[in-house]
Structure 1
Amino acid sequence: MTKVNRFIQFNDEMVDVNQMLLYERIGRALSDAPFLELTERKLMEIRPAEGGISMSVYWRHRPDHIMHGGRLSDIYLLTAGFWRHFSVPEWVSYRLSYRTHPLRKFAEELLLLIEEFRLIDATIKERAGTEEAFQIRKEVMLRFHKDHFTINYQKGFVADALLNMMYISLNEGMHTSIPKEWSYGPGTIPLPIDHIHTALSFAYDAKSTKDSRLVAERIIALLEEQLEEDLLHQYYAIGDALNEKIIPFHYHEGMKDAESGEGEVKETIEEVFRSFHRENKSESGVHLEFELEHGRSGKGDGSNAVEGHEDAQIEEMGKGSSKGDQSEKRSDEERDAKKGNNSQLHADQSFGPEHLNVVYEERAIQIKDEYENKKKIIAWRENQKPFVRSFVDEMKKRIEQKREEKREGLVKGRLSSKLTTMMIDERPRPFYRKNIPSTQLDAVFGLLVDGSASMADKLDETKQAVLLFHDVLRELQIQHEITSYYEDANYATKESQPNVFELMHTFADRNKDDSLSIMSFDANEDNRDGFAIRWMTKRLLTRQEQHKFLLVFSDGEPSAFGYAQNGVLDTREAVVEAEKLGVTVIHLFLSAEETTVEQRAVFTMMFGNKSAASDSVEQFTDQILRILRKTLSIVINQ
């Protein structure tokens, strides 16, 4: 779970997850798509198959107001501009018409450049509050294109320089300081700059993608005989995922009108996203081992029918699973195999898009080394006994003090001995009531223990801390559950990521001593923190107690198959979701060394201000008592 200390850390830059969540919420609100996911990539992108969009990393390492405004402009452009006002059929048709053209990349990027200009203007008119972010975008991008125009012009990258020139001309007007006598190659063929500007000026009147396409086609017609090389660099990636495979859309389930064709064309990016979202929601996951590209629910034409005859031999036998069929009992191996298959559960949409291919298993931890562990338990409990006793006594005294308090100045209840209020006050309140809360605290705890391989060097200290947690809550008769979690990296693939929850102590065990289960905890492989937090949150929400606490013991950042990049953000989302549902999430960083500033910053991103760290393994138990003292004080005082 902890990071590997490499000689050189490439792209080891952490994002501000709270800011990313803010941008994601803005994008979801503007697009009215609660399923939309946001990431950061080299260029702006839309990814319908993944249900996500990406803002550009170009805005990083700039002053805060420019970085914030630039990122907002990306989101505005994607979710308020291209989302509903960009014609997907027109774009696909345009790409197909230039598929074999020698200036294919130039043609595609030119149309997107014109569309960006049109959609920024349309978005500002529709939403005036976006103008400030777009103004920042315009100033920064103008500097970018002016700088690159000079470089490309000097190096002879004519197509790139032309694209830079057209961006500058659109945003600054056609009378810019672009060389009018611009010749290509040895200088014998002057480029028609004036004609290009004339054709480009029609972009100011464009009202649709079709209008922008006509402008782009006119410019390509002026240049296709004179340009010999296509674009060298890429400036836009918005249309990369929109191709002929999107239209017609391939349905994977039977359609109502099966004989009427593939269905109507998706006109906008919004429709494409929602179609993919519906299909993914109903068909994603490892439970589908195959896919039907052209399934039909209409009548069969009988072309594959084979005439039967009475001499036909039975080639294959099948056995049903009906409960009524008791003619033949299955073997023990079959029953065991079926039981094993049922023990694996598939993650659904509620666990988040990062975990759609996760299969997980909940099982009781296997007791091992019973004799040796019993000796350790006796020794550890003897050392911890003074701490447990003093802590429990402290909590009981606080509960008793709370019981003895009384509320005075009431209009009904027990009559107070201070009756002077009846003579002095106009509206006397001489009654009181004693607070007699239940001696049992109205709280429940869930403890998740990171079971990744990096925990191997601190297993004994972690077990002591968990044992202390278990003993204190048992003494106070507080319901709790203790579970380790890990992902089996040896069998993790793109289609399936097996996760395991090893139950050390469950709510059903109530006050049972499960110290041997705690001692059997061991380090395994990877960890998927966001998934584990959502899993434990679901279990805590089934409890009736008012105060619900979820503790996470881990030793670093989440790391699992395909999860390293988005693990921090997904964990933060899981924590925010749990807090909204009334579950307080607290993190304890288990480290054998002093915590660095960077590590504390990462934990704060994931868990907010409810993250504690121990500078050495000896402090684990102290931190446990401190956390329990704070949480139980909240319960007692309310």
Structure 2
Amino acid sequence: MKHVMFNDKKIDASLFLQMENLMYALLKQQDAYLEYGYQAYYDDRENKVVISHFWDDRSQGDKVNGLKGEIYLKALGNKHYSDMKLIREYSHELLESPLKRFFTQLFVLLEDLRIEEKIKAVRPGTKSIFARRREVYRSYFQAQHEINRIRGFQADMLFALIHLTLTSDKYESFSNPYLEQVQTILYDAFHAQSTEDIMYTVEKLRYRLEEQLQGDMINHYFGLAPIRNNVAAEKEERVHKLANDDMQELEDDDKKNKMDEKFSTWHRENKNNNNENFLRFELESGTKTNLMGNTARESEDADQAMASVQGGSKKSAQADFDQADTKDTSTDGSSAGESAYGKYNTGAHHTFKQPHKPLPAERAAYQTIKSLVNRDVRELKKIIEKTIENKTNAHTEKYYGRLRKKFIRIFTEKQPRMFYKKGQESKELDVAFHLLVDCSGSMYNKMEETKKSVVLFHEALKSLKIPHAISGFWEDAANAKESSKPNVLHEVISYNTSLIPSSGPEIMQLHEEEDNRDGYIIRIVSEQLAKRPEKHKFLLVFTDGEPSALDYHQDGILDTHEAVKLARKKGLDVIGIFIEEGEAQEATYLLMKNIYNHHFLVAQDAEDLRLKIKPLLKKLLLKTIQ
């Protein structure tokens, strides 16, 4: 397990998912996806919206407004009000300009300003969002103008002045020879009705500035979807069969005409061999060739499916994976697209590993730990039982209600309480727990101490006759591949065995293993826990860092956050318990807040965790006594 950063910044999972939901609502396409990037853009070919890191260091309010503004501009504006085909063609043409960065960014800026007005007209509630967005950008470009003036970057300075001119609420005149030449043309953008009108405005500016402005822009403020292939647009334009049925013989040079370039727009699901074109395109008219048609890049499936697969966990040196101990109940979506357990878990499946009969050494180790926690267990049990007793007496000793059958109080008390309240004879501790223990490799040097907290958890609940389960979990990294990601749930204590007096030594079979796919496992366990008949259900997740597994590094926080949210919708209380090494860092609290909101506990080390488990259990149990 390792701490995953997005460009050295921790992602706010809750905010990201909020933006993702907004994107879905505006695009009206559930197979779209959202990403962070240096510049915001909409890629209609990839069906992707990218939001920028520009807002990372802003205040929380400005960050939310800024990202919402980008989502509206890209998912609503570019999708529904821009001519994306024309944008692609024109951006390709701008590559030939000596000021390609300047005019590309100017094209994006003018188009954004045009569609912003359309969005505000159909959605008046967005006016405040865009107003604050402009204020932030104006402040930013005022600073950029001064910086670029000092550095002598003429194109960058001009771009900053253009932004300030076009976004001002009043007429502003700036002393700049280049701006004075084109200011009247710039105002034509306010009358633009289409992307084509914006293109013509930029062409007029090219005619005036291309020969005069020396040197292109250095900085990148705004951008378009990366250009992949200058003939890729033909694919969506040509959809009919070929008009001719003849065959063209290729020259030797043509046979070798395959691109060997790696494009920066690739993401982890897109893999090309060295001799493959990035896009395969088809023609509806022309001449057939003998080019092979197997050169398309791998695409992402969009449909959801479930498929049964066989577990492939590798036998570990520290855990017994004998056939008798393991039963496969795995599900995944690797054969037909998105996994039934979340879009980030395609190919993931799981097996339930049963504990073996405790060895003498395990029993001895358990008894040693049990002796350390017995005092805490007795104290916790006494507090809970006393609370239950007081609550019960409060319902059974009334001056009115149903008459009790025992009349001795008439003779022993001056004002006997002879009645009780009907319907108050229900169970006081109608509760079930499930404890998940991260068994990833990073638990090395922590697992033995963590077991003390797990034993305290088990013995306390067992003494109060509360059904519970304890499971370790990990992903088999050695055997994991894109199509098959085997996960293991080691059920050392099950609901059926949790109240057996001799149960417990099985906990000593927990060991650090390999990777951890937290979101996937939380989904599996929450399904089981939600089916329990108890009124109150708690899921506790012991972890020591961010989720980390194959194809899961950047998405693990989001997936785990989403899994926790889904579990809570099922009526479960989910609490994250973080085991820190040394003094807890601010980043740790931010990580846990991103995943578990405010329902988490951070311990400085495993020993500190044991001391904090008792008050946590006490608080949770008292919450259930009503």
Residue 462 of structure 2 is matched in structure 1 by 474
Among 101, 108, 128, the residue aligned to 2:124: 128
Percent identity, aligned pairs only, is 28
Question: Do the aligned partners of residues 137 and 3 (structure 1) sit closer, same or farther apart at CA in structure 2, a change above 3 Å counting?
Answer: closer
Question: Do the aligned partners of residues 491 and 52 (structure 1) sit closer, same or farther apart at CA in structure 2, a change above 3 Å counting?
Answer: farther
* 1:359 aligns to 2:348 (yes or no): yes
Among 522, 527, 542, the residue aligned to 1:553: 542
Residue 111 of structure 1 is matched in structure 2 by 107
Cα distance, 1:585 vs structure 2? 0.7
* 1:500 aligns to 2:500 (yes or no): no
Question: Which shifted more, 626-635 or 578-587?
Answer: 626-635
- The aligned amino acid for 1:220 is R
Cα distance, 1:113 vs structure 2? 1.6
Q: Distance in 2 between matches of 1:225 and 1:400?
A: 90
* 1:87 aligns to 2:73 (yes or no): no
Cα distance, 1:521 vs structure 2? 0.8
Residue 524 of structure 2 is matched in structure 1 by 535
Per-residue deviation, residues 74-110 of structure 1 (Å, max 9, x unmatched): 3332334223212212212323444555554444323
Question: Do the aligned partners of residues 524 and 163 (structure 1) sit closer, same or farther apart at CA in structure 2, a change above 3 Å counting?
Answer: same
Cα distance, 1:519 vs structure 2? 0.9
Q: Indicate if the aligned counterparts of 2:229 and 2:279 stay in contact, CA closer than 8 A.
A: no
Question: Do the aligned partners of residues 380 and 412 (structure 1) sit closer, same or farther apart at CA in structure 2, a change above 3 Å counting?
Answer: closer
Q: Distance in 1 between matches of 2:203 and 2:190?
A: 16
Question: Do the aligned partners of residues 344 and 100 (structure 1) sit closer, same or farther apart at CA in structure 2, a change above 3 Å counting?
Answer: farther
Question: Do the aligned partners of residues 47 and 571 (structure 1) sit closer, same or farther apart at CA in structure 2, a change above 3 Å counting?
Answer: farther
Q: Distance in 2 between matches of 1:50 and 1:495?
A: 22
- The aligned amino acid for 2:561 is R
TM-score, structure 2 length as denominator? 0.72
Question: Do the aligned partners of residues 372 and 208 (structure 1) sit closer, same or farther apart at CA in structure 2, a change above 3 Å counting?
Answer: same
In structure 2, stretches of 5+ residues that fail to align are 244-268, 272-277, 283-289, 291-321, 408-417
Per-residue deviation, residues 301-355 of structure 1 (Å, max 9, x unmatched): xx9xxxxxxxxxxxxxxxxxxxxxxxxxxxxxxxx99x99976532654533333
- The aligned amino acid for 2:465 is Q
Among 177, 198, 215, the residue aligned to 1:212: 198
Q: Indicate if the aligned counterparts of 2:437 and 2:541 stay in contact, CA closer than 8 A.
A: yes
Cα distance, 1:536 vs structure 2? 1.7
Q: Indicate if the aligned counterparts of 1:486 and 1:526 stay in contact, CA closer than 8 A.
A: yes
Q: Distance in 1 between matches of 2:187 and 2:6?
A: 44
Per-residue deviation, residues 337-378 of structure 1 (Å, max 9, x unmatched): 9x999765326545333333x423223155498231122123
Residue 364 of structure 2 is matched in structure 1 by 375
3-state SS, counterpart of residue 478 of structure 1: coil
- The aligned amino acid for 1:57 is H
Q: Distance in 2 between matches of 1:506 and 1:560?
A: 26
Question: Do the aligned partners of residues 552 and 213 (structure 1) sit closer, same or farther apart at CA in structure 2, a change above 3 Å counting?
Answer: same
Q: Indicate if the aligned counterparts of 2:349 and 2:486 stay in contact, CA closer than 8 A.
A: yes
- RMSD (CA atoms): 4.5
Cα distance, 1:564 vs structure 2? 4.1
Cα distance, 1:459 vs structure 2? 1.9
Among 456, 477, 486, the residue aligned to 2:444: 456
Cα distance, 1:215 vs structure 2? 2.0
Cα distance, 1:591 vs structure 2? 4.2
Q: Indicate if the aligned counterparts of 1:399 and 1:439 stay in contact, CA closer than 8 A.
A: no
TM-score, structure 1 length as denominator? 0.71
Question: Do the aligned partners of residues 467 and 50 (structure 1) sit closer, same or farther apart at CA in structure 2, a change above 3 Å counting?
Answer: farther
Q: Distance in 1 between matches of 2:396 and 2:242?
A: 75
Q: Distance in 1 between matches of 2:466 and 2:97?
A: 72
Q: Distance in 1 between matches of 2:231 and 2:465?
A: 60
3-state SS, counterpart of residue 547 of structure 2: coil
Q: Distance in 2 between matches of 1:229 and 1:285?
A: 36
Per-residue deviation, residues 200-253 of structure 1 (Å, max 9, x unmatched): 332111112122222223333444555675443322234337976875678xxx
Q: Indicate if the aligned counterparts of 1:450 and 1:485 stay in contact, CA closer than 8 A.
A: yes
Residue 173 of structure 2 is matched in structure 1 by 176
Among 213, 220, 223, the residue aligned to 1:234: 220
Residue 574 of structure 1 is matched in structure 2 by 563
Question: Do the aligned partners of residues 153 and 466 (structure 1) sit closer, same or farther apart at CA in structure 2, a change above 3 Å counting?
Answer: closer
Q: Distance in 1 between matches of 2:46 and 2:366?
A: 49
Q: Indicate if the aligned counterparts of 1:405 and 1:434 stay in contact, CA closer than 8 A.
A: no
Question: Do the aligned partners of residues 592 and 375 (structure 1) sit closer, same or farther apart at CA in structure 2, a change above 3 Å counting?
Answer: farther
Residue 486 of structure 1 is matched in structure 2 by 474
Q: Indicate if the aligned counterparts of 1:106 and 1:230 stay in contact, CA closer than 8 A.
A: yes
Q: Distance in 2 between matches of 1:416 and 1:248?
A: 89
Residue 134 of structure 2 is matched in structure 1 by 138
Cα distance, 1:2 vs structure 2? 6.4
3-state SS, counterpart of residue 61 of structure 1: coil
In structure 1, stretches of 5+ residues that fail to align are 183-191, 251-256, 262-283, 296-302, 304-335, 419-429
Question: Which shifted more, 342-351 or 479-488?
Answer: 342-351
Q: Indicate if the aligned counterparts of 2:37 and 2:51 stay in contact, CA closer than 8 A.
A: yes
How many matched pairs? 541
- The aligned amino acid for 2:431 is A
Cα distance, 1:120 vs structure 2? 1.7
3-state SS, counterpart of residue 457 of structure 1: coil
Per-residue deviation, residues 28-70 of structure 1 (Å, max 9, x unmatched): 4454566665554322233567765343222343455544543
Q: Distance in 2 between matches of 1:142 and 1:447?
A: 51
Cα distance, 1:522 vs structure 2? 0.6
Per-residue deviation, residues 173-212 of structure 1 (Å, max 9, x unmatched): 88732433x5xxxxxxxxx963x44443321111121222
- The aligned amino acid for 1:207 is Q
Per-residue deviation, residues 135-156 of structure 1 (Å, max 9, x unmatched): 3333343344455456556766
Q: Indicate if the aligned counterparts of 1:442 and 1:635 stay in contact, CA closer than 8 A.
A: yes
